Amino acid sequence: MSRDLVVALSGGIGGAKLALGLSRIVEPDNLLVVANVGDDFEHLGLHISPDTDTLMYTLAGLDNAKLGWGRRDETWSFMETLAALGGEDWFRLGDRDLAVHIERTRRLRQGESLSGITADFCRRLGVGPRVLPATDDRLRTRLRTDEGWLDFQDYFVRLQCHPVVRELAFEGADNARPHPGLLAALRDERLRTIIICPSNPFISVEPILAVAGMRQALAASAAPIVAVSPIISGRAIKGPTAKMMGELGMTPSAAAVAERYGDLLDGYVMDVEDAEEAAQVAPKTTLAPTLMTNLAQRENLARVVLEAADALASSKRGRDLVA
């Protein structure tokens, strides 16, 4: 029996880059990308699902690389018209992107699941791998800041991540269930590895881990769990990871992210620039170039992560046999 099924947990832009690299070397049927839904919200009467869409657009080759969200070749007539009418324009919905939100919202209202709609959109857009929201249940990231409790997009987009973060909460997580398709993959004997993409641990990965029973299901899997550091030399490639780490009392470093994931990890891929930190990291480390500015780098990092996982798998299975 071949172990060729790969599960990747991902947020938006950073995770999507690695997911794209993985999609180039893993057969589409063998790649399951699990999307954070903590960023989801209702806006202008529409259900917006940013990380799911970033993954879908990236894997379809339709992503807007400049913005890191939304679609390429976008036009903004709707937004300009809305602004002229005095409407809410702090969260920018492009004309092409808007069609996705409108159609998704219509289908959700008719009782379809977020995962079912996502699967159908992916098929129509030519996405091979499965993109699965971590849960079909409602889960919303909220942040306690020096300006009080904020909904995620108010913090991230409206206030541009300026407020100082004190605490995060994942509303609904206790009553949310991991998607059954993900649970099945985690139990599948063909599972090769679970990859935690180089996404923000607090706002992209932890909302996935917060889904009731998710950590247990991951930990119970026989396959090795390998995370990729989202930090290089104390800085995040994009977004507020390093800023948040400082505000939450951590030193912004690759080692601190590994510590945050704790026992969950079997392996950790960190940037070659952070070689001196490797000794402080408990799981087995692999050093690699983790910056992904082009497709070759994405593919290369995907290959490194899979090789690291394969090396860990033999020792993990060996341990399980002894235990």
Could you list the residues that contact ligand FO1 (CB under 6 A)?
A: 11-12, 39, 48, 50-51, 53, 69-70, 91-93, 97, 153, 156-157
Q: Return the number of the residue (145 or 285) whose C-beta is nearest ligand FO1.
A: 145
Q: How far is the CB of 100 from ligand FO1 (least distance, A)?
A: 8
Q: 20: helix, coil or strand?
A: helix
Q: How far is the CB of 167 from ligand FO1 (least distance, A)?
A: 19
Q: How far is the CB of 54 from ligand FO1 (least distance, A)?
A: 6
Q: How far is the CB of 161 from ligand FO1 (least distance, A)?
A: 9
Nearest to 188 by CA among 273, 130, 138, 149: 130
Q: Return the number of the residue (97 or 271) whose C-beta is nearest ligand FO1.
A: 97
Q: How far is the CB of 64 from ligand FO1 (least distance, A)?
A: 10
Q: How far is the CB of 45 from ligand FO1 (least distance, A)?
A: 15
Nearest to 133 by CA among 189, 247, 211: 211
Q: How far is the CB of 47 from ligand FO1 (least distance, A)?
A: 11
Q: How far is the CB of 221 from ligand FO1 (least distance, A)?
A: 26
Tokens 């099924």 correspond to 5
Q: Return the number of the residue (53 or 277) whose C-beta is nearest ligand FO1.
A: 53
The identity of residue 240, as a single letter, is P
Please state whether 87 falls in left (phi above 0), alpha (psi between -120 and 50) or beta. Answer: beta
Nearest to 269 by CA among 289, 293, 298: 289
Q: Return the number of the residue (222 or 248) whose C-beta is nearest ligand FO1.
A: 248
224's tokens: 């090795």
Beta strands in the chain (DSSP E): 5-10, 31-35, 41-43, 46-48, 130-133, 140-145, 148-151, 165-171, 191-196, 225-228, 231-232, 235-236, 267-271, 284-288
Q: How far is the CB of 29 from ligand FO1 (least distance, A)?
A: 26
Question: Kind and range of the H or E element at 233?
Answer: none
Q: Return the number of the residue (70 or 201) whose C-beta is nearest ligand FO1.
A: 70
Give 89-158 as a DSSP string. Answer: -SS---HHHHHHHHHHHHHHHTT--HHHHHHHHHHHHT--SEEEES-SS--EEEEEETTEEEEHHIIIII
The number of CA neighbours under 13 Å toward the Cβ of 93 is 23
Q: Return the number of the residue (53 or 137) whose C-beta is nearest ligand FO1.
A: 53
Q: Return the number of the residue (23 or 49) whose C-beta is nearest ligand FO1.
A: 49
Residue of minimal CB distance from ligand FO1?
Answer: 12
Q: Return the number of the residue (70 or 224) whose C-beta is nearest ligand FO1.
A: 70
**Could you give the angle at the alpha carbon of 210 between the alpha carbons of 204 and 214, nearest 5°?**
110
Q: Return the number of the residue (121 or 221) whose C-beta is nearest ligand FO1.
A: 121
- Phi, psi (degrees; rounded to nearest 5) at 184: -65, -40
Spatial separation of the C-alpha atoms in residues 234 and 186, rounded to whole Å: 32
